[in-house]
């Protein structure tokens, strides 16, 4: 764990952590806009940030990640309406994601791919927590960056193809009763889709770890009443962030 910093001097480690936190909070702040806008069919950049209740444009002082939310106690400065605490959690988790990715991989190609996968996953889970829907476009983003990451690591396309193929088989076997036929097209239930996409992202080597982690986090999530995509996100990020777990 934290392979990238073993030979770094502490000044560089501290500077990297500070930069990772700043970048993560900034991206997390932007992700909160996606959490609000995408379920409502709004364009990502159609207008400046605004309050979801009174539509008042937000000023710079309202947009400091984490700090503004805590100072305002998760209420709009202008109308007093509360907004979801998940926005602050989104910023914090993405900040943590950036720090962990830096400590394990440093700043480079793999860092960019891993944080991209993680940002999509956290956004996916936040939207399900708030709106109780799973947005396919975000899952597509997870799959695209996951496939690129797999090719970069494996130096072959076999890893993600085999992982996705066996992911589909396992998903269909586990959730066979949820498969529906519409005309000549068969549609998979969401849990089966998540297993298939997880297989693409983690590849054939990471698939056993992903499946075990997904099952464990899903059971824990049922007890804690957490969205399904929280279990999915954690199960994907373990083998993606820490490839060494494949050998366990």
Considering the domain architecture, whether residues 243 and 157 belong to the same structural domain is answered as yes
Collapsing DSSP to helix, strand or coil, 57 comes out as: strand
The CA–CA distances, whole Å, from 195 to 82, 175, 208, 215 equal: 35, 10, 11, 10
Mean pLDDT of 28-34: 86
Paired tokens of 123: 């956004």
What secondary structure letter does DSSP report for 156?
A: S
Is 125 domain-assigned? no
Q: For residue 248, what pLDDT is reported?
A: 45
228 contacts: CB under 8 Å, gap ≥ 6: 128, 134, 190, 191, 194, 218, 221
What average pLDDT is seen over the chain?
87
**Residue 122 CA neighbour count, 13 Å, CB half:** 28
Paired tokens of 132: 């109780």
Collapsing DSSP to helix, strand or coil, 71 comes out as: helix
Is 112 domain-assigned? no
Q: For residue 213, what pLDDT is reported?
A: 94
23 contacts: CB under 8 Å, gap ≥ 6: 98
Considering the domain architecture, whether residues 144 and 235 belong to the same structural domain is answered as yes
Model pLDDT for residues 195-229, shown as the tens digit of each residue: 999 999 999 999 999 999 999 999 999 999 999 99
Considering the domain architecture, whether residues 246 and 139 belong to the same structural domain is answered as yes
Considering the domain architecture, whether residues 29 and 93 belong to the same structural domain is answered as yes
Is 114 domain-assigned? no
User: What span, in angstroms and rounded, lies between the C-alpha atoms of 146 and 40?
Assistant: 26
Considering the domain architecture, whether residues 41 and 144 belong to the same structural domain is answered as no
Q: For residue 247, what pLDDT is reported?
A: 47
What's the domain range around 210? 135-248
Is 37 domain-assigned? yes
Model pLDDT for residues 38-65, shown as the tens digit of each residue: 887 776 666 677 766 777 777 777 667 7
Model pLDDT for residues 98-146, shown as the tens digit of each residue: 999 999 999 999 999 999 999 999 999 999 998 999 999 999 999 999 9
Considering the domain architecture, whether residues 58 and 151 belong to the same structural domain is answered as no
Residue 84 has pLDDT above 80, yes or no: no
Is 5 domain-assigned? yes
The CA–CA distances, whole Å, from 119 to 88, 142, 215 equal: 14, 9, 22
Between 181 and 37, the more confident residue is 37
Is 119 domain-assigned? no
Is 126 domain-assigned? no
Domain count, the chain: 2
């Amino acid at each position: 764990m934290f392979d990238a910093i073993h030979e770094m001097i502490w000044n560089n480690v501290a500077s990297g952590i500070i930069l990772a936190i700043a970048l993560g909070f900034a991206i997390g702040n932007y992700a909160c806009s996606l959490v609000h806008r995408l379920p409502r069919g709004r364009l990502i950049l159609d207008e400046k940030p605004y309050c979801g209740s009174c539509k008042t444009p937000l000023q710079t002082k309202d947009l400091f990640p984490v700090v503004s939310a805590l100072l305002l106690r998760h209420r709009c400065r202008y109308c007093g309406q509360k907004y979801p605490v998940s926005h602050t959690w989104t910023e914090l988790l993405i900040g943590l994601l950036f720090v962990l990715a830096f400590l394990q991989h440093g700043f480079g190609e793999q860092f960019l791919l891993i944080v991209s996968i993680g940002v999509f996953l956290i956004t996916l889970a936040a939207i399900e927590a708030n709106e109780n829907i799973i947005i396919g476009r975000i899952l597509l983003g997870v799959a695209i960056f996951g496939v690129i990451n797999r090719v970069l690591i494996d130096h072959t396309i076999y890893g993600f193809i085999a992982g996705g193929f066996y992911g589909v088989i396992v998903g269909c076997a586990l959730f066979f009763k949820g498969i529906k036929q519409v005309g000549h097209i068969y549609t998979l239930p969401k849990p089966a889709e998540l297993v298939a996409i997880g297989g693409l992202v983690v590849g054939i080597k990471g698939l056993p770890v992903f499946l075990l982690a997904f099952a464990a986090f899903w059971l824990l999530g049922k007890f804690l009443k957490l969205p399904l995509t929280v279990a999915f996100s954690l199960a994907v990020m373990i083998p993606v962030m820490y490839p060494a777990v494949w050998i366990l």
